[in-house]
């Protein structure tokens, strides 16, 4: 991770003083794990989880909340604070603070959508096809969430059909091995990057 972290720190700021980096991919592709490992390699970079901004009725209608509560404050050089959705209580119940750090990560399905891309210094895509990612997610969440996954899969497919992120990603990461794929930005010249996300 150190090579990629160093490259990200060296990028020009993209959102005020912040280098905003998105980690996108299908649900179940390993985004959260990868973002956590990358944040650690960056010395504890803040991570915005888009699951905190989505809701049961608005899987992808969070762009306005992200812009107003996170992107605009960071662009102005201020710390951001956003409301966090509680998926059990089904309402926004708490808040999270995002310092205007040198690098801030945004992870979640649709993190590289067109409304966000103008603010990004780098878009990272987790390379795992939708069917494999869904199987992984269903195994993780158990049969009680099978109905949720069915609805989610339809919404995700519609989102990426209308607004694909992958073509805009400079860096692609194998969702099974965690290795940066050859030919993409961030590839180490000496060895493959790994983050041990197999089985997630």
Q: Report the share of the chain in percent with pLDDT over 90.
A: 73
Q: For helices 31-41 and 2-10, what crossing angle results, to 10°?
A: 70
- Lowest average pLDDT, out of 6-15, 85-94, 97-106, 179-188, goes to 179-188
Q: Whole-number mean pLDDT of the chain?
A: 89
Q: Show the tokens assigned to 134.
A: 């869904």
The overall pTM is greater than 0.75: yes
**Neighbouring C-alpha atoms within 13 Å toward the C-beta of 37:** 16
CA distance 42 to 36: 10
Query: Quick check: 63 and 57 in contact, CB under 8 A?
Result: no
Average pLDDT over residues 84-102: 97
Say what the pLDDT of residue 187 is.
Answer: 57
CA 183 to chain centre: 21
Say what the pLDDT of residue 132 is.
Answer: 87
β-bridge mates for residue 97, sequence order: 81
Task: Give CA separation, 26 vs 108, 140, 152, 165, in Å.
Answer: 8, 14, 11, 10
pLDDT digits (tens, 9 = 90+) for 43-84: 999 999 999 999 989 999 999 999 999 999 999 999 999 999
Angle at CA 188, nearest 5°, toward 30 and 44? 55
Say what the pLDDT of residue 148 is.
Answer: 73
pLDDT at 190 over 60: no
β-bridge mates for residue 120, sequence order: 20
Q: What DSSP element (H or E) covers 98?
A: strand 91-98
Query: Quick check: 113 and 5 in contact, CB under 8 A?
Result: no
């Amino acid at each position: 991770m150190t090579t990629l972290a160093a490259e990200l720190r060296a990028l020009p700021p993209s959102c005020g003083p912040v280098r905003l980096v998105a980690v996108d991919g299908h649900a179940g592709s390993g985004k959260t794990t990868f973002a956590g490992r990358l944040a650690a390699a960056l010395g504890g970079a803040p991570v915005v989880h888009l699951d905190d901004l989505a809701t049961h009725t608005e899987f992808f209608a969070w762009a306005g909340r992200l812009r107003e509560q996170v992107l605009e404050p960071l662009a102005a050089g201020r710390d951001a604070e956003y409301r966090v959705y509680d998926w059990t209580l089904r309402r926004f119940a708490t808040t999270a603070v995002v310092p205007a750090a040198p690098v801030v990560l945004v992870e979640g399905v649709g993190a590289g959508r067109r409304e966000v891309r103008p603010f990004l210094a780098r878009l990272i895509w987790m390379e795992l096809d939708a069917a494999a990612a869904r199987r992984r997610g269903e195994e993780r969440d158990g049969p009680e969430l099978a109905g949720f996954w069915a609805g989610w899969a339809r919404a995700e497919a519609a989102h990426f059909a209308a607004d694909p992120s992958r073509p805009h990603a400079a860096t692609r990461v194998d969702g099974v091995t965690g290795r940066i794929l050859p030919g993409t930005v961030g590839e180490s010249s000496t060895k493959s990057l790994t983050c041990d996300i197999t089985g997630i």
